[in-house]
Amino acid sequence: MKISDLANLNEIKEKAAKKILPDKPYIAIGMGTCGIGRGAELLFDSFEQIIKERDLDIILKKVGCFGYCSEEPLVNLYIPGHPLIIMHQVSENDVIPIITGIIKGIMPYKKVLCRIEEWDFLTGKYEFGKGLTEYPLWNEIPFFKCQKKIVLRDCGILVPDDIEEYIGVGGYYPLFDVLKKMKPEEVIAEVKASKLRGRGGAGFPTGQKWELMARVKADQKYIICNADEGDPGAFMNRNEIESDPFMLIEGMTIGAYAMGASKGVVYIRAEYPLAVRRLKEAIKQAKAFGLLGNKILGSDFNFDIDIVEGAGAFVCGEETSLIHSIEGKSGRPSPRPPYPAEKGLYGKPTNINNVETWCNIPVIISKGGAWFTETGTEKSSGTKVFSLVGKVKNTGLIELPLGSTLETIVFKIGEGTGTQKRVKAVQTGGPSGGCIPVEYLSTAVDYESLNSLGSIMGSGGMVVMDQDNCMVDVARYFTEFSNGESCGKCTPCREGLAQTLKILNKFTEGKATLADIHTLEHLGKVIKNTALCGLGQTAPNPVLTTLRYFRDEYDHHMIEKKCEPGICQSLFSALCENSCPMHMNIPRYLQLLKEDKLEDAFESTLRDNPLPSTIGRICHFHCQMKCRRESIDAPVSQGDIHRYISDTVYKEGNVQKVYDKIIKGKLPQTHKRIAIIGGGPAGLTAAYYLVRLGHDVTIFESQSEAGGILRWGIPKYRLPSEVLDFEIKFIKDLGVHFVFDTVVGKDIKLEDLESEYNTVILAIGAHKDIELSITGSELDGVLSGMDFLKDVALGNKLNIGKNVVVIGAGNVAIDAARTVQRYGSEVTVVYRRMKSDMPANKDEIKGAEIEGVNFLYLCNPKEILADTSDKVRGIVLMKMASGDIDLSNRRKPVPTGESFILPCDTIITAIGEEVDATFAKDFGIKISSNGNISSDHFTFVTNHPKVYAIGDAVTGPATAAEAMGIAKKAAEIIDFNLMNKRRFHKLFRGFDYSDEVPLKPEGGNRHYPIRRPFEERVGNFKEINLGYTKEQAYEEASRCLRCDVRVIVNTEEE
């Protein structure tokens, strides 16, 4: 049927309404590329088969993508009189239950994502029905809550290749109004009033661009839709065409009328077969209905659209390159002027807009330019569609008002990473965009704001990155892409990007120098200012932004030859070793144990870690967080193994043989004197290595014994004193001197140490509790967590009641709670967030639960109440609710307004620790704004050349292993500074063991150490974790996949 007047349109609209709201149930499968990739096609076939076999009166449809890619396949279910239901992650196993549910009127509860009671297509509105309030509305779930659908208004709801459904929701009425009621200049005026800017990336005002084209007089004009979407991770235009091709065709037709063009071209990637197929079908239907071709809608306006399938060259996203490609030439840019509006396709005036730009036009005509400006910002009106991908929980296609923040996108819509890892950065604008760090995620998403950060809007690709992403490698990846896609026409892009890539490869191989940093910056600026086209000019953005915001990662690669995320493989042997703060050669001691070389395995661990048995008990095991075995079942329990190795050697009496070997291997006396302030993990580690290097080392410790947090902050049921004592004794045997009960700044001055010693190392821990600043915190019965644990360790008399509340969720809080429980008191841990957000060791939390510790989550202390004697009688707790994800990748606790009183007689606060660096500050040592001692990140030297700072003193509260890792690095640097030559490697030796990768995974499932039964823990501090048996340790060691083994291929010809 050819449509020529309003009556024809209305007739089709009325007919289509029965398709959109039929009088029988329908099932609609989301059949975009993303859905098909997740099994939607097989799902459709299964529904079709069951419906046919049972001869059911159910309509089955194929719709486009609703945008929530991570929840695909999505299935829409409509039962007349009820809301439209959207189900997620539907599989073939769900087909029969869904069909049965339709017949019986029972919803498949587990699969329902949300409901839609009414839907505003902007050109028309439909009410599906009320009810089913047990399911959230579509715009109440996080992924959609902040979205506003203008471009995506029909996607996932309508059948994409049914023009009648498009007309049914008001489609082509804007075109009718344009052709019947508006002059071309009036159309352009409306677009200008909307302040719509090009959505392809440059952001040039669309109305202004159209006006320039309209002024040019020519016998032939062209308009082009740029659907050449080449950004890695971007799929906005593909989805828009797959899900709603008619809005593109209508938008282009309106634009052609306004600018006086009679021919249009959609330049689309051939690798988008579904989009191409649906667009071809849409063009065919539009012609059949008289909406394309000659005398459109009975007017004198003629317009037709051709499709040109591109070969996927990224440079063809640039408009002059795209024109050349359509003409059958090599896709290379041309200098401008002349601009395409003057001389474009086949030498004729041409206007090019992005898919999304064209898709906005029908709505702007329907609702008015003024309406469009109500959304967005003053300079950037309307919405923008983004593909949200990468290390984010909720991935998919999102549309939200311009001016929304990156924080909204990543944490409210995306809900953070969905793991324990934190967001590090967001890449906007694809290979031509920049990497924006998490600190800047409060930035509004508009053209000017992103440009100010060194990035661009681009066509809408948005890649979220977490702690496992190496920003140097990210820059290298995008530069490699841009270099490979460079057309080669201009020297800055062709040669500049090649040189940039060459330098970035040097960084990933640990071969870069400081000069390379300067060269990268210089090259980036030159390319940006001199490249021929926009793609070349923006190609340096990933490099320049990573240099600007992540310079420390370049420094790590350059100075330390280290890639912390474990991506640049030339800089580490195994991921476990790379993630271990002390860089222990973990695969080596695992293999040595596996080969029954116990003493060698012990010596290997001891050379890397002076406290192997101690750390094997209390480490957070950073190594396990990166273990490749986890991709099969569970990570190798490296820490439990090196604890087994050291415990076994200690018990069997072979330890002295290894000790003697290390003592004998001490380097000759240097007569350099080193003073270390603090005998905790960092101080002990620095002393261990420095004394082995031949230096005279003295530790000044404020307490009566060494160990720091290991002795005074960790209960004996986790770390028995005799284990720590045994390992510290060996450090003494190596020749380290200890001066106990000496407080620097009080008993001895820092300036005296600086004058008497060649080097002074500040290795003080973060032992000062952060105060709880609420009313009543000064009352009798309020204790500090660190002070409490120290009193327990010292055997001091405790002043705790029978009903104790512990405030906090870290290791100190859990240690305090489990300790209180051993004294027979009732104990409750109060935390303002959820259980999953607790930073404490998960095993310790589980242990506390087993032992009967109570937990109250989502409760925030408001006030401590006193009795008549000014002693604690209770605490007022404010009930919290989980809000949006914050920058810590946890849900923000939000007050509910409700509170209650929890009776208690003792409160232990453990909300965090800080460094007390008063003595250092008084001496003139520079202190950071966070209260830590300020020192160089790589040399650890303070503003006093002879004074270094390590461990918690510079980082704040950290794990013992992290403090020891810093101390180990500092020892190497201090020795080099004292001796002016590199000698640290002499403390280590090679071992003989097999370097064969197992042909298949060995060792079975992960082995768990034996734990003392609960009934044997009551009222005592006996060690809980009893360690591995011999069989467990050997089997666990054999689970290692040996990812440290590399194959070196000799490519040289003989």
The DSSP call for residue 339 is P
Angle between helix 638-652 and 598-608 (nearest 10): 110
The C-alpha atoms of residue 332 and residue 921 are separated, in whole angstroms, by: 62
Q: How far apart are CA 232 and CA 226, in angstroms?
A: 17
Query: How far is C-alpha 230 from the chain's CA centre?
Result: 23
CB 65 within 8 A of CB 30: yes
How would DSSP label each residue in 382-432? SEEEEEEEES-SS-EEEEEETT-BHHIIIIIIS-S-SSSSPEEEEEESGGG
What are phi and psi for residue 740, nearest 5 degrees? -95, 170
Per CATH, the number for 575-662+997-1037 is 1.10.1060.10
Residue 767 structure tokens: 């032992």
* Residue 1054 reports pLDDT greater than 80: no
- Strand arrangement, sheet containing 737-739: 737-739, 696-700, 673-677, 759-762, 947-949
Start-end of CATH 3.40.30.10 domains in the chain: 6-145
- CB of 80 closer than 8 Å to CB of 22: yes
Q: Do residues 555 and 525 make contact, with C-beta atoms less than 8 angstroms apart?
A: no
Amino acid at 531: A
Q: What is the DSSP letter of 460?
A: S
* Alpha carbons 774 and 876: distance in angstroms, whole number: 10
Residues of the chain with CATH 1.10.1060.10: 575-662+997-1037
Task: Please tell me the distance from the alpha carbon of residue 795 to that of residue 802, in angstroms, as a whole number.
Answer: 19
791: buried, middle or exposed (CB in 10 Å: 19+, 13-18, 0-12)? middle
CA 117 to chain CA centroid, Å, is: 34
Candidates 386, 394, 441, 389; CA nearest to 414 is 394
**CA 11 from centroid of its chain's CA atoms:** 51
Question: What distance in Å separates the CA atoms of residue 865 and residue 757, rounded to the nearest whole number?
Answer: 52
Give residue-wise pLDDT tens across range 247-267: 999 999 999 999 999 999 999
Q: Would the pTM of this model clear 0.85, i.e. be above it? A: yes
- What per-residue string of b and e applies to 285-302 under the rule 16 or more CB within 10 Å gives b? bbbebbbbbeebbebebe
Q: Strand 947-949 and strand 759-762: pairing?
A: parallel
User: Quick one: which of 953, 983, 959 has its CA closest to 971?
Assistant: 983
- The 3-state DSSP class for residue 891 equals strand
Distance CA 384, CA 402 (A): 6
* Residue of 116 and 105 predicted with greater confidence: 116
565 within 8 A of 466, measured Cβ to Cβ = no
Residues 6+ apart with CB under 8 A from 858: 831, 832, 833, 834, 879, 880, 881, 882, 893
Q: Is the model's pLDDT at 753 over the cut of 60?
A: yes
Domain with CATH 3.10.20.600 in the chain: 383-562
**Under 8 Å between Cβ of 352 and 210:** no
d(CA 285, CA 165): 12
Is 418 a residue whose pLDDT tops 50?
Answer: yes
Burial class for 25, CB neighbours closer than 10 Å (0-12, 13-18, 19+): middle
Q: Any residues with CB less than 8 A from the CB of 778 and at least 6 apart, and which?
A: none
Give residue for tokens 């394309």: 292
Q: Under the phi-then-psi rule, with left for phi > 0, alpha for psi from -120 to 50, and beta for the rest, what region is 201?
A: left
CA–CA distance from 8 to each of 15, 61, 125, 298, 866 (Å)? 11, 25, 20, 11, 80
d(CA 649, CA 603): 10
Q: What is the pLDDT of residue 623?
A: 87
Helices (H) and strands (E) counted in the chain, each on its own, are 40, 33
Q: What are phi and psi of 371, to 5 degrees?
A: -60, -40
> Residue 962: its pLDDT value, please?
96
- CB neighbours (10 Å) of residue 892? 16
Per-residue pLDDT tens for 783-815?
Answer: 999 999 999 999 998 889 999 999 999 999 999
Read off the pLDDT of residues 663-717 as tens digits, 9 standing for 90 and up: 999 999 999 999 999 999 999 999 999 999 999 999 999 999 999 999 999 999 9
Q: Compute the distance between CA of residue 608 and CA of residue 868 in angstroms, rounded to an integer.
A: 57
C-beta separation of 934 from 943 below 8 A: yes
Percent of the chain's residues with pLDDT above 90: 86
Looking at the chain, how many residues does it have? Answer: 1054
CA gap 51, 42 in Å, rounded: 14
- Percent of the chain exceeding pLDDT 70 equals 99
- Residue range 929-960, pLDDT digits in tens: 989 999 999 999 999 999 999 999 999 999 99
pLDDT at 1046 over 70: yes
Give the mean pLDDT of 715-731: 97
C-alpha span between 404 and 442 (Å, rounded): 9
Strand 112-116 relative to strand 84-87, pairing? antiparallel
* DSSP characters over 730-772: HHHHTT-EEE-S--BTTTB-HHHHHHHSSEEEE-----EEPP-
pLDDT > 90? residue 232: no
State mean pLDDT over 88-95. Answer: 94
CATH 3.50.50.60, applies to 768-914: yes
Domain 172-373, architecture per CATH: 3-Layer(aba) Sandwich (3.40)
| Residue 1049: band (very low, low, confident or very high) from pLDDT cuts 50, 70, 90 | low
Task: Yes or no: say if 851 and 818 are a contact pair by the CB < 8 Å rule.
Answer: yes
Backbone torsions φ then ψ of 931, nearest 5 degrees: 90, -5
Q: Roughly how many angstroms between the first and final C-alpha of the chain, as a whole number? A: 75
pLDDT of residue 535: 86
Evaluate whether 274 touches 36 at the Cβ level (below 8 Å).
Answer: yes
For 588-611, how does the pLDDT look when each residue is reduced to its tens digit (9 = 90+)? 999 999 999 999 999 999 999 999
What is the band of 915 on the pLDDT scale with cuts at 50, 70, 90? very high
3 state DSSP class of 444 = strand
Q: What is the distance between the alpha carbons of residues 390 and 393, in angstroms, rounded to a whole number? A: 9
| For residue 1051, pLDDT beyond 60 | no
668-766+915-986 belongs to CATH 3.50.50.60? yes
The ranges of the chain annotated as CATH 3.50.50.60 are: 668-766+915-986, 768-914
Q: Can you tell me which residue has the tokens 């839609």?
A: 116
Q: Can you tell me the distance from the alpha carbon of 790 to that of 913, in angstroms, rounded to the nearest whole number? A: 14
In the predicted model, what is the mean pLDDT of the chain?
Answer: 94
| DSSP letter (8 states) at residue 612 | H
Q: How far is CA 12 from CA 162, 169, 283, in A?
A: 12, 10, 18
Query: Residue 847: phi, psi to the nearest 5?
Result: -60, -40
Instruction: Give residue 314's pLDDT.
Output: 83
pLDDT at residue 871 is higher than 70? yes
The pLDDT score that the predictor gives to residue 652 is 87
Q: Which pair of structure tokens corresponds to residue 74?
A: 């999505």
- Calculate mean pLDDT across residues 227-246: 90
Nearest CA to 720 among 1031, 1033, 1020?
1020
Q: How far apart are CA 195 and CA 631, in angstroms?
A: 50
Res 760 pLDDT > 90: yes
CATH topology of domain 6-145: Glutaredoxin (3.40.30)
The more confident residue out of 710 and 889 is: 710
Residues of the chain with CATH 3.40.50.11540: 172-373
**Cβ atoms of 43 and 29 closer than 8 Å:** yes
**The pLDDT of residue 1050:** 62
What is the pairing mode between strands 826-830 and 1025-1027? Answer: unpaired
CATH class of 383-562: alpha beta
d(CA 151, CA 65): 13
